[in-house]
Structure 1
């Protein structure tokens, strides 16, 4: 899969103006097909630069997440339910999300604890509204920009595909920013879900 993505990035780089559209389509399909897009995200920084790369990744990730959400809600509900049946985090989220869908989605997008591809499908079987789910995608922006930026520091696709981390002060700073944002979001979503779940329990007694 890594070799395929690397060849795809090289192909996109040679497409010129059509490269952005091709990238968005491929990123969207990767998300729907449950394929991790981390290599594509890093590669976007090399192929397009930070600004355009971040825009293309965000559009592709948003479209892919909405596609996965709809598949999870209408086509693969039983399969997704089995995937998350033993995940206590998702059970807690389901109880809270009907009341505060946008805030929950936003915080889970900021937190690295919840895997992107699984979360897309899992939220499809919760009671979150599609509008709140789509708007919550803005939580992906900080992580998207940081990872595209780290990819841009690699300088070329070959280094991104080598699997070796980019090591310089700028990359290390970006990684620490991602960790700090993710930690804060994880704590926030945990406290917020706990608060809502406790309130719901009190109201039902």
Structure 2
């Protein structure tokens, strides 16, 4: 995750904005497709072993995406969840088709423009030939821009949580309004995956 963000920011630092958008966006999109293909080909889903509580959250996210369809996938893609975690999260869910993943990844890969812009601003600030007045303006622009980006990212994250909760309640008939299901699922993908002994199988949907 840190490597991906660093690479995108470095692209902006080297090529500037908007010059660095194309290579950064291309790398993000191609990387997502490769990750999706490898996870599907080698069925990494079979290595997931979840506790009963996390299995319920896994099923809730799966059901929410199944009900919300492409709109829900795009909302997750646009959220501030790190791009590599999104790739893994969406790739292991059996309800997402290859066409949906490819289209959502292509449309949302422009998000790396944020890192590219930040990198270009860092390049401007570190330029020793930049006049003091221009340096102050660059600092102000970057500060305001980062504040706006954080606010928008937080709003998108809360909106994603709300949509997941609404779809979960409508689909399962249970109250999940006070649970951060998507955050827990990201935590499961990031830290809760372990390799079981032979004979364990991938989690399946709970019977309604």
CA distance in 2, matches of 1:195, 1:121: 23
Counterpart contact for 1:73–1:121, Cα < 8 Å: no
Counterpart contact for 1:69–1:122, Cα < 8 Å: no
Partner residue, 1:129:
97
CA distance in 2, matches of 1:109, 1:146: 14
Higher-helix-fraction structure: 1
Determine whether 1:182 maps to 2:153.
Answer: yes
**Quick one: structure 1 residues 91 and 179, their matched pair in 2 at CA, closer, same or farther if it must change by over 3 Å?**
farther
Larger Rg: 2
CA distance in 1, matches of 2:23, 2:51: 30
Q: Alignment RMSD, CA only?
A: 3.0
**Quick one: structure 1 residues 179 and 87, their matched pair in 2 at CA, closer, same or farther if it must change by over 3 Å?**
farther
CA distance in 1, matches of 2:33, 2:113: 20
Partner residue, 2:3:
36
1:78 to 14, 28, 46: 46
1:153-183 Cα distance to aligned partner (Å, 9 max, x none): 2228x99xxxxxxx82122222122212211
Segments of structure 1 that go 5 or more residues without pairing to the other structure are 1-33, 160-166
Segments of structure 2 that go 5 or more residues without pairing to the other structure are 128-137, 174-206
Determine whether 1:97 maps to 2:65.
Answer: yes
Counterpart contact for 1:146–1:175, Cα < 8 Å: no
**Quick one: structure 1 residues 195 and 60, their matched pair in 2 at CA, closer, same or farther if it must change by over 3 Å?**
same
CA distance in 1, matches of 2:36, 2:56: 20
TM-score (norm 2): 0.65
